[in-house]
């Protein structure tokens, strides 16, 4: 497997400029216009960038800065490329999430399983997003499972009301952690990567 990773962070105030810059900075697979992206969304601090880094490079990034805009990552396998687009989870960037849904092959939604107070907020945004697209496949990462306070995935399933995401939609939930000492659970992230590749291939073939 060949991996290629590229990231770009920009401020919300220069959104248009950011798009232009994104066009300049993105890896080759983004230059193919018909390619759609795998959207990676979720509240700030949930672990989106950390997961993407792990998916791309199989290792944990030590210090992760909040994403101030976009973080584009391209992972190349032997037969295809997967284009991931994280949009920052801080308040100013959330209004851009929905704009990118129509360009999404599938939605990866990341939550901090230990941040109980903000789960209702995460649920609200998730349901707003999926409400606008009844078929977009959904992969939820219940992240930070290493933390003592983390909710089990069954509780996350309930807290996010995942039973209400719609019968026509493919939906998957993974309990993940991105930590250096985890030897077992990170393999779940690799399983998730394989599943995402499979779903993305299916969706691309349908497009
Ligand atoms: N304990 C623990 N910390 C994690 C895990 N994943 C990420 N973190 C930490 O959580 C913090 C936020 O992670 P990010 O990956 O920047 O979160 P994000 O969702 O990209 O946040 P924004 O870019 O602001 O939207 C960082 O300090 C990470 O090191 C995890 O599984 N367990
Ligand atoms: Mg980020």
Residue 49 belongs to a domain with what CATH number?
Answer: 3.40.50.300
* Domain enclosing residue 45, as ranges: 12-206
113 within 8 A of 151, measured Cβ to Cβ: yes
Whether residue 88 has its Cβ less than 6 Å from ligand 1:
yes
pLDDT tens string, the chain, 207 residues long: the values are 333 333 333 333 333 333 333 433 344 465 444 568 999 999 999 999 999 988 888 888 878 899 999 999 988 766 778 899 999 999 999 999 999 998 899 999 999 999 999 999 999 999 999 999 888 999 999 999 999 999 999 999 999 999 999 888 999 999 999 987 655 557 888 889 889 999 998 888 776
Question: Which residues are documented as binding site for Mg(2+)?
Answer: 49, 67
User: What pLDDT is recorded for position 204?
Assistant: 80
Tell me the ligand closest to 46's alpha carbon: 1
- Which atom of ligand 1 is closest in space to residue 110's alpha carbon? 19
Of all protein residues, the one whose alpha carbon is nearest to atom 12 of ligand 1 is 45
User: What pLDDT is recorded for position 103?
Assistant: 86
Of all protein residues, the one whose alpha carbon is nearest to atom 26 of ligand 1 is 64
Instruction: Tell me how far the alpha carbon of residue 186 is from its chain's centroid.
Output: 16
Core vs surface per residue 126-151: b (16+ CB within 10 A) or e: beebbeebeebbbbbbbbbbeeeebb
Sequence-ordered alpha helix ranges (H) in the chain = 15-25, 48-57, 91-94, 119-131, 153-159, 186-206
Whether residue 182 has its Cβ less than 6 Å from ligand 1:
no
Number of domains in the chain: 1
Query: pTM for the complete prediction?
Result: 0.87
- Using alpha carbons only, give the angle 85, 189, 107 rounded to the nearest 5 degrees: 35
CA distance 105 to 168: 15
In a domain, 141, yes or no: yes
Give the mutation target among 50, 70, 96 for probing the ligand 1 site: most ligand atoms within 8 A of CB: 50
Tell me the ligand closest to 111's alpha carbon: 1
Of 121, 71, 73, 118, the C-alpha closest to 96 is: 71
Of all protein residues, the one whose alpha carbon is nearest to atom 32 of ligand 1 is 144
CA–CA distances in Å: residue 112 to residues 2, 24, 151: 30, 32, 9
Whether residue 94 has its Cβ less than 6 Å from ligand 1:
no
Q: What's the gap in Å between 119 CA and the centre of ligand 2?
A: 18
Residues with CB under 5 A from ligand 2 (ion): 48-49, 67
In a domain, 70, yes or no: yes
Sign of CA dihedral 54, 43, 158, 84: negative
In a domain, 5, yes or no: no
């Amino acid at each position: 497997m060949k991996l290629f990773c590229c990231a770009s962070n920009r401020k919300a105030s220069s959104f248009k400029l950011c798009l232009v810059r994104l066009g300049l900075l993105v890896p080759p697979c983004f230059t193919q216009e018909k390619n759609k992206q795998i959207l990676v969304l979720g509240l700030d601090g949930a672990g989106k960038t950390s997961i993407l880094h792990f998916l791309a490079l199989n290792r944990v990034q030590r210090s992760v800065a909040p994403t101030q805009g976009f973080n584009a990552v391209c992972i190349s396998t032997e037969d295809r490329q997967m284009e991931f687009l994280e949009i920052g989870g801080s308040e100013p960037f959330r209004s851009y999430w929905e704009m990118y849904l129509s360009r999404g092959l599938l939605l990866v939604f990341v939550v901090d399983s230990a941040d109980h107070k903000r789960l209702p907020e995460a649920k609200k945004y998730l349901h707003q997003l999926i409400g606008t697209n009844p078929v977009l496949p959904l992969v939820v990462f219940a992240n930070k499972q290493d933390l003592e306070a983390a909710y089990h995935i069954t509780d996350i399933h309930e807290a996010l009301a995942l039973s209400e995401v719609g019968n026509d939609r493919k939906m998957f939930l993974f309990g993940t952690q991105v930590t250096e000492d985890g030897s077992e659970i990170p393999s779940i992230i690799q399983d998730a990567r394989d599943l995402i590749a499979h779903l993305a291939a299916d969706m691309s073939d349908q497009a």
